[in-house]
Homo-oligomer: A and B are copies of this chain.
Amino acid sequence: MTEADAPHGDVRDGPAADEPPRASSHTPLTRRPRAAVTMHEVAARARVSIKTVSNVINGYPHIRPATKERVEKAIQDLGYKVNASARNLRRGRAGVIGLALPELALPYFAELADEVMKAAERHGVSVLIEHTGAQRSREFDVLRSDRRSLTDGLLFSPLEMAQDDVGALTVDYPLVLLGERLFGGPVDHVTMATVEGARAATAHLIERGARRIAVIGAHEGEVVGSAALRLNGYRQALKEAGIPMRPELVREAGLWHRSTGADATRQLLDDGVEFDAVFGLNDALALGALHELHQRHVDVPGRVKVIGFDDIEDAAFSAPTLSTISPGKQQIARTAVDFLMERIGTPELLLGPRYVEAAFFVVARESTGG
């Protein structure tokens, strides 16, 4: 490709640039600004009424085969496509659901979005993704946004709203809540058994012989939310094993990124605190810990065992591979989409909010000794 030899950042005209820019209506240019074909035109060409065309398109069963064929040919010939705006206006339905999440660049959410899109496809609807950037104000915005009228309902995964904000979830469109940030709202809620998951993670470390288990990613003062719930599970597991909880082993990390996980681990090491395991409250934190431990030549799992939470794809490919808790992402996505579509399909559904916790399982890998 000679194109690829151009200097970087260059802007050039492509192959068709030398065509005369005459405005003749049939210039075989990039694109004809021809108005879209409508049902009327199809109907005219097929010599039927517009209603018949509609019937054919919507698979209405009782149509004479000959008619149907004629219509289909006309559609082909004219390259007719239904106009979604018109259809939606008429049907009062957009065929699109919204998915509001913090950031696609966070692997957990990218993988969740992936599953949501697959689930949506099974229902024949599209997904409009919106970022909140993990900003509280934008989480509120999303709930009231003009974009809501582009969608029939919303899957909402807040990260910054607090329990007090649960009132904001009272909206006049179908809404399904995801995650562990808000509970008891007036909407369907799909999440995972977080406390148990964290308990199982901690128990796994204990079972492998760990006794001084550091945990990173705590959020001081939080009472619900992933951090609080997972920390809870950690506490429960320690208690069950009769291991005292040592505050110096609990480390904060505001954003759950690798960098903050590495930072927390660095401090742990610098502070000279003794520990034989690290529980990263999510995989990114745990991977950051793995990174830092490697830098300091601390043997994993020999001297320190590490476990994460979320089972993102990377966990299987770090060195050493990372043990983690696998939440049922697919189950969560499917259930959430099912609920949403059910609410959309039957707005008169007088059914109280549902609450579902997806199952999880422990994935034991090298970082805890396989």
Contacts and interface: CB of A to CB of B under 8 A. Distances in A.
A359 interface: yes
Nearest to A348: B33
Nearest to A111: B105
A5 B96 CA distance: 34
A141 to B, nearest CB: 11
A148 B117 contact: no
Given A14-B189, A16-B186, A354-B14, A126 B126 contact: no
A69 to B, nearest CB: 21
A294 interface: yes
A11 B84 contact: no
A174 B31 contact: yes
A4 B194 contact: yes
Contacts of A104: 104, 110-111, 113-114, 117
A79 interface: yes
A127 interface: yes
A291 interface: yes
Interface string A1-31: 1011111111111111111010100010111
Kindly state the interface size class of chain A when it binds its partner. Answer: 35 or more
B350 A23 contact: yes
Contacts of A146: 81-82, 84
Nearest to A124: B146
A110 B105 CA distance: 6
Interface string A350-366: 11111111111000000
A137 interface: no
A314 interface: yes
Contact of A84 (B5, B149, B186, B195): B149
Interface stretch (A46-54, A128-136, A242-250, A273-281): A128-136
Interface string A229-249: 100100000000000000000
Contacts of A331: 9
Interface in A65-121: 79, 81-86, 88-89, 94-96, 103-105, 107, 110-111, 113-114, 117-118
Contact of A14 (B18, B229, B294, B355): B355
Given A104-B113, A105-B111, A353-B16, A359 B9 contact: yes
Given A131-B114, A262-B317, A353 B10 contact: no
A146 B218 CA distance: 46
Contacts of A316: 258
A58 interface: no
A103 to B, nearest CB: 7
Contacts of A126: 128, 130, 147, 150
A165 to B, nearest CB: 16
A114 to B, nearest CB: 5
A11 B353 contact: no
B12 A224 contact: no
23 contacts: A1-B224, A3-B357, A4-B195, A4-B196, A5-B195, A6-B357, A9-B328, A10-B356, A10-B357, A11-B354, A13-B355, A21-B351, A30-B186, A30-B353, A36-B172, A83-B149, A84-B149, A104-B110, A105-B110, A105-B313, A126-B150, A127-B129, A128-B128
Chain A to chain B: the 6 pairs with minimum beta-carbon distance, closest first = A17-B352, A14-B353, A294-B319, A110-B110, A85-B88, A8-B359
